[in-house]
Amino acid sequence: MSDLPFKLVNMTQDDLFAEIENIYLEIEQNHAVAEEIPSDSESLASNKGEEESDTEATIGNNVLIYSSSDSEDDLPLITIARKIQTAAFATPADRKPPIWSNVETPASPPDFAAQSGLADCVTNMIDPTPCKLFQLFFSENFIKDMVFETNLYAQQKFSKHKPTDVREIKTFLGLNLLMGIKRLPSYRDHWSSAPDLHDSYVSNLMSVKRFSWLLGNFHLNDNSLMAKKGEANYDKLYKVRPLLISMAEAFGKCMLPSREVAIDESMIKFKGRSSLKQYMPKKPTKRGYKVWVLADKNGYCLKFDIYTGKPSGNAEKNLGSRVVKQLCEGLENKNHLVYFDNFFNGVELMEDLKNMNIHACGTVNSSRGHIPNFKADKNMKRGEMEWFTSNSDLSVIKWKDKRSVFLLSNFHDPRDMLEVNRKEKDGSITKVPCPKALADYNANMNFVDKFDQNLSYYKIDRKSHKWWHRIFFFFLDAAVVNAFVLYKGLQLPPLSMKDFRRSIIEGLVAEALVARKRSASSFETIAIKKNEPYVSEEVRFEGSTHQPERGTRRRCANCSTKKNQVRTEWVCSACNVPLCLTENKTCFQDFHRNK
């Protein structure tokens, strides 16, 4: 049996293990050898003679053929299973291992001619604001669906609270974003009676009981339709699936990938109990949900994929290759340059990407299959390198720094060199030759890190007993980060991440602000700048409950100047801004009209 030839065409791992179980069951029940195992439709055995026969096993649409010139009656089942598994994960018959040499060099990638940057739906936007850009991702339709599912969940729980609406959910989202800036040990501290903790802005927008009710009842999908574990359509991410679908569509629609993109993993912090939780001791966030991210050079998240663990409890073969190919869908034949680290990289993946006109580069483990043997580290000095190229247009490089670095690329010429500065033990700086492939990798591999950095500044970091809350708030923050990248791409007046986030919050809570009557001593809607009252556009042009009321005589916010001071006793009830309201002046109407 050790020399039996095997042939396999397109077999997946799940099909393989399922077929192995079927083989075990059939052989145990019928006391037969592999030639007598039937398929669902017809016999799998074809006896060709008493002395020599071939066994043909059909698994789905795949055919596994092996000769059985020797008797198999005495072979243990585990031997058959191991032979089938070895054949399943062996290199396909039509793919030969690469031949490495120092002769051939990979062809340089053609010029990048595809469109990149902001999509038309962003550049054609009329009067773009941070809130409008954010609503490209958290759209009105998605919020309406969220309102429906929240009310449905409350009804299923027989809750006696009043139903929520779009305005309240927007306020709820805005308050959560604000709590990323105003961080307190507990969200309840914003409503605390202690003067050093109490936040009048938050407490005036919503009561603590209502916020707690929304936090415990907001939902995205109907629990009554959720498949149970073990069923065919079971989905571990069912509770957040509408969010993931909406975000994936919006992220890809608003930004066209740049020439250079990077693939790496991001972590959603979570320490509770969940089958999705991963432990990565070398990461800053050691416990949580792993998210594969495709990001462009601006730190914009183009695509993502949440890792849900081993399929059917079995270790997944070629996980890194599968993730890269999935995230690179849509980049074919556009000559993109993709960078990823040694978790994903491999010879077969590089060859597949090359065939799709996707040019890739990354570090690689020297123990990966089909990687040639290099000199030992002790025989190399700092700055020295060794390289090989293959007949499949790949190049692999070993460069000696303090430690050895291995690179695998399908478009770099290993002979291209640069110089980098290195500090010696005596403190002096020396120049050391370095492969250009490594310089390009270091310059472009940090795109996902840039996305994580922008995400970390004011992210919502709240503990929750519900496992999916962390995922929801992660993508709420991710929508802010992507909107911030779009804002900078439009070359609008510069804003810091904090002020950009504040502007989104103002837009989300604007309807709640104008709907609640302010007292004369309340200035939550006003920021004083150069002794002039300022009201955000979202509040100022919200045509809801702006009503004139009498107050103290103050300078008109519309027509009064230093040279010609005009005072009035009329005040807008929503904006708390003094405005003229006489027969000859229309300051009240002019101030609230969006010109």
DSSP letters for 496-535: -HHHHHHHHHHHHHHHHHHHSPPPTT--TTEEEETTEEEE
Alpha carbons 170 and 514: distance in angstroms, whole number: 14
**Cβ proximity of 13 and 317 under 8 Å:** yes
pLDDT in tens, 79-137: 444 444 334 334 454 678 888 988 878 888 888 888 899 999 999 998 899 999 999 99
- Sign of the C-alpha dihedral, residues 531, 532, 533, 536? negative
Alpha carbons 258 and 482: distance in angstroms, whole number: 15
CB neighbour class for 306 (10 Å; exposed up to 12, middle 13-18, buried from 19): middle
Sheet of 62-67: strand order equals 45-46, 54-59, 62-67
DSSP letters for 277-317: -EE-TTSSS-EEEEEEEEEETTS-EEEEEE---SGGGSPPT
Cα–Cα nearest to 541, from 505, 572, 520? 572
Question: Quick one: pLDDT at residue 25?
Answer: 52
Q: Which two tokens stand for residue 32?
A: 């037969």
Question: Quick one: pLDDT at residue 585?
Answer: 84
Helix H or strand E encompassing 548: strand 548-555
**Residue 201, CB-side half-sphere exposure with 13 Å CA sphere:** 16
Mapping DSSP to helix (H, G, I), strand (E, B) and coil, where does residue 480 land?
helix
pTM: 0.73
Question: Quick one: pLDDT at residue 13?
Answer: 52
C-alpha distances (whole Å) from 467 to each of 268, 277, 383, 470 are 11, 10, 48, 7
Alpha helix stretches (DSSP H) within 293-398: 319-327, 347-355
Alpha carbons 537 and 524: distance in angstroms, whole number: 14
DSSP letters for 467-478: TTHHHHHHHHHH
Alpha carbons 338 and 493: distance in angstroms, whole number: 32
Question: Quick one: pLDDT at residue 505?
Answer: 95
pLDDT in tens, 443-500: 999 999 999 999 999 999 888 889 999 999 999 999 999 999 999 999 999 999 999 9
Dihedrals φ, ψ of 133, to 5°? -65, -40
Question: Quick one: pLDDT at residue 573?
Answer: 79
Q: Which residues of the chain have pLDDT under 70?
A: 1-94, 312-315, 516-545, 594-595
Alpha carbons 299 and 294: distance in angstroms, whole number: 9
Q: Residue 149: which residues within 8 A CB-CB, separation 6 or more?
A: 219, 220, 221, 222, 242
Question: Quick one: pLDDT at residue 535?
Answer: 66
C-alpha distances (whole Å) from 313 to each of 99, 107, 236, 316, 454 are 36, 42, 13, 9, 35
Cα–Cα nearest to 112, from 390, 389, 411? 411
DSSP letters for 186-226: SGGGGG-SSTTT--HHHHHHS-HHHHHHHHHH--SS-GGGP
Question: Quick one: pLDDT at residue 49?
Answer: 37
Q: Residue 572: which residues within 8 A CB-CB, separation 6 or more?
A: 546, 547, 548, 549, 579, 588, 591, 592
Question: Quick one: pLDDT at residue 533?
Answer: 61
Cα–Cα nearest to 16, from 98, 83, 79? 83
Alpha carbons 85 and 78: distance in angstroms, whole number: 10
Every domain of the chain and the residues it spans: 13-88, 121-226+461-501, 257-452, 518-591
CB neighbour class for 333 (10 Å; exposed up to 12, middle 13-18, buried from 19): exposed
